[in-house]
Each structure stands twice: as structure tokens, then as C-alpha cells.
Amino acid sequence: MTNHLLLWVVLLAATVGALTRKWWAPHASRWAEARQIPWRWWLLEYPVLTVRMRVTWRQVCLLNGLSISRRSTARVVDGVMVRGVALRQSPPRLGLPHLTRTGVVVRIRIHPGQTPGPFLAAAQALEHAWRVHGVRVTSPRRGEVLITITAHNTLDDTARDVAAPTAGPVLVARVGRVDDGGPWVLNLRRIPHWLVVGATQSGKSTLLAAFIRAIAPQPVALVGIDCKGGMELGLFGRRLSALATSRPEALRVLTGLVTEVQQRMTLCWSAGVRSIWELPEDRRPVPVVLIVDELAELYLMDGTREGRDQSEQCSTLLLRLAQLGAALGVHLVVAGQRVGSDMGPRVTALRAQLGGRIVHRVHDEASAEMALGDLSPDAVAVAQMITEEEQGVAVATIGGRWVRARSVLVTTEEARQVAEEYAALTPDLPALAAVTFEKEGGAA
């Protein structure tokens, strides 16, 4: 009797389960979509933030020097000119806050005579006053300041949302997420060469791996220089057209690439075009991306004459590639802890050629200043605020402004899988035929 009852209960549970699943299946994806919508932010936190912004705006402006007095602050008293602080100051008008998925964007029309400078300096004060994760101040139009607010830290987990790599437009690689929730894209067609800077364990090699992962399905030749024994780039061995793991090997790879550039120059010259992109598709050579992990290893001076010669040669060849490569489809993505003139000759010249800048956590202001100071001075302070816990978070320059972003975390296993999956797409570069040691030997 008990057995029958048990069987009956199990059957009933199975039937109810099956019916529920059948009913639930069509709704499941809609429920998953609904869960992606930041309801709490939209319905509760956004209205509270808008009220808080309105209430605190006048005081924040007053304390941070963003208000001005419309009347002169100087008076003549008994024949003496006295200058004081005006009691009635008016802040610039705060525009209507536009809601985004991750925060708010608000436009401010600044008073005549004001510049965006004090607003940039007040970003941190605004974060505290409005209790938000981040405030970015830019000035896309004259007479206007744009404040982009990120309500919460959206860069907590980027590994979760970056889909499997797809071919996409050539030389455009999605490497992670920016702090407004959008994709973080490195576009080498727009900015041909990139510099990645950061202290040790800040996420440089991970970003390079995310880049290779994203670009691997594209018809692009990838060449690696990893003088830390190929530990990082070696994982992608079969997808790399060449990999140098020591400085003498790097010299051979760089020499081969300069030869490749010269051949492409001749090709363009004979076809009467100024870049490989103007050549017909069937005659266009494949784009090449040279990825260097730890630039300092190439510039290392070990006190020997041979070491000094190699360092000088590497630096000359890298600079030539950077100067000539862009139009000829040879691109550089270079990572290093520092890029100061103390490393060796021509480092600053090389840095000037690397127009795309990405700075992870740095130990000192000088490192951030070296990488960002010339292109985006206000990003220097932001880069210094990246904490040790925020591995992979970086400040990147994009079209004259900066963003905070985080690369996707590529595991060792995933890197190997990518190399295997796209190994057949690895082009052979004739100029590197003599230096393809790693593909045949060790690292592959």
C-alpha cells in the first residue's frame, strides 16, 4: 500500500513538473530578458539621484568654484578699490538628466568666461555629493560640459558578458566593457598603434590575450614578441605567424617585418596608391599586428656591448615599423610597465607614434603621466585611482576623451582553444619565413 502511494506521488510530481516546464519554456527567455533590465536603478535609484542632484547643485557649485557672480566683485570705498567675494553667486544651469542603463548623462551650459577645467577638477566632489560610483566630465562642444554619471561599478565582472569572438570588421577587436556598459573596442583601422601600460599584475597580458582572442577569427597575421620566455603569448602559438621569445629572436622578427614593410611600400608605389587599403582585394597583403609583451625586455641594458647594440637595433626597428607601418597594414600593440626616456634611446619617439593609450593601475604618477599626459591630461588622475583589487581595469583614450574599461578575462584553457580553433587562419608571411622557429619548435 505504502509503495503504491509512493509511486503515485512520484508520478504526480513528474506530471506536474513536465506540465510546468511546458508552460514555462516560452516565458523563460522573456524572464531572462526582464532580469537584464535594471529595474531597481530605473524605478527607484534614478528618481532619488535626480532629486539629490537638484538639491545639492547650488552648494556643490559654490564650494568648487563653479558659480560666478554676475555683478562685479570690486567696489570703490572711500577712494579705495576693494575686492571681495560676492554673496549672490549663480551656478550654471543643470540640464535635464538623461537616463541610461548604467547611469545618467547631463549637459551643462557654462557661463561666458568659464572653462571646463574647474568642472573636471570637481568630478570627485560630484561623485561624493551624488553618492555615485563615477563621474566623468567632458566638453564635446564649446560652451558646454557633459557630465556622465555611472551609478554603480559596472566593471565588477566583465568575463560574464563578452560573447564568443566573431570575425566582424577587420582590425576591430572587442576586448571588454567600458563603464557605461557598452563594448570596449580597439579599432586599429582608426588608431593604428596602441600602447598598454600598467604595474606588474595590473592586467596588461590579459588585455593582450583578450585582443588576440577577439582578432583571431579575422584574416590578420599575428606576430608575437614575448621575451618573458613566451609564457603569455606562447599559449596562442598556432595562431601566431611568428613568436619571438628572446631578444635575438625579436631582432630577427623585427628585421623580417621591416623587410615586409619595404616590400609593401614597393607594391603600393608600383600600383600608384598610398596605402594597402586602396589596392584591389586580390592584391592586398594581409594586415599584420605585432604584439609585444613587456617592452622593457627589448631595451634591457645588461652592461655588455652586445646588449647595448641589440637594444639600439630593437628600438630603431620598432620605431621604423611604427612610422611606416600604419598605411602598409602593419600595426603595433605594445605593453610595458613604463615607457620613459630612461629606458633607452628613441622610446619617447616610439611612444609618440603609439596613438592609442591604455593605462592600468600604476605605482606612480610619472608612469601615468608618461602614457596619458600628452593626449589626455585629465585621465592621469583617474588612472592613479585604480585600486589593486581592480585587476584588468584601465583608462583608455578614445577619440580625444577617456573612458574607464575592463578587459575580458581569458583563461589559459580558452587561449589554447582559440589558438587551436583558428590555427588554419594563420597566414604565412614570406618575409618571416626564416624566423618561424617557434611554430615549428618549442612554443607551438
Annotated binding site for ATP: 198-205
CB of 337 to Mg ion, least distance (A): 9
Cβ-closest residue to ligand ATP? 392
Among 64, 100, 148, 205, binds Mg ion (CB under 5 A): 205
64 binds, among ligand ATP, Mg ion, none (CB under 5 to 8 A by kind): none
Residue 35 grid cell? 532580469
Determine the size of the site formed for ligand ATP (CB under 6 A). Answer: 15
| 203 counts as binding ligand ATP under rule CB under 6 A | yes
Bridge partners of 331? 289
Q: Cβ(218)–Cβ(397) under 8 Å?
A: no
Could you report how far apart the first and last alpha carbons of the chain are, in Å? Answer: 67
102 binds Mg ion (CB under 5 A): no
If binding is defined by CB under 5 A, does position 245 make contact with Mg ion?
A: no
Are the C-beta atoms of residues 152 and 133 closer than 8 Å to each other?
Answer: yes
**C-alpha span between 370 and 386 (Å, rounded):** 17
Give the nearer residue to ligand ATP in terms of CB position, either 134 or 285: 134
> Does 198 participate in binding ligand ATP (rule CB under 6 A)?
yes
The item of ligand ATP, Mg ion, none sharing an interface with residue 138, based on CB under 5 to 8 Å by kind, is none
Largest CA distance in the chain: 113
Among 2, 72, 200, 270, binds ligand ATP (CB under 6 A): 200
Decide whether 102 or 205 has the Cβ nearer to Mg ion.
Answer: 205
What are the b/e assignments for 116-152, b being 16+ CB within 10 Å? beebbebbebbbebbebbbbbbbbeeeeebbbbbbbb
Q: Which residue, among 71, 47, 65, 375, has the nearest Cα to 197 in the 3D structure?
A: 375
- The CA dihedral of 202, 205, 210, 214, to the nearest 10 degrees, is 150
The single residue among 205, 241, 315, 426 that binds ligand ATP, judged by CB under 6 A, is: 205
Q: Is there binding between residue 391 and ligand ATP (CB under 6 A)? A: yes
**Cβ of residue 360: shortest distance to ligand ATP, in angstroms?**
6
Alpha-carbon distance of 300 to 320, in angstroms, equals 19
| Residue 392 interacts with ligand ATP (CB under 6 A): yes or no | yes
Residues near 428 by Cβ (< 8 Å), separated by ≥ 6? 241, 436
CB closest to Mg ion, residue no: 205
Smallest distance from the beta carbon of 192 to ligand ATP, in angstroms? 23
For binding to ligand ATP (CB under 6 A), which residues are involved? 158, 198, 200-206, 337, 391-392, 406-407, 409
Contacts with Mg ion by CB under 5 A lie at 205
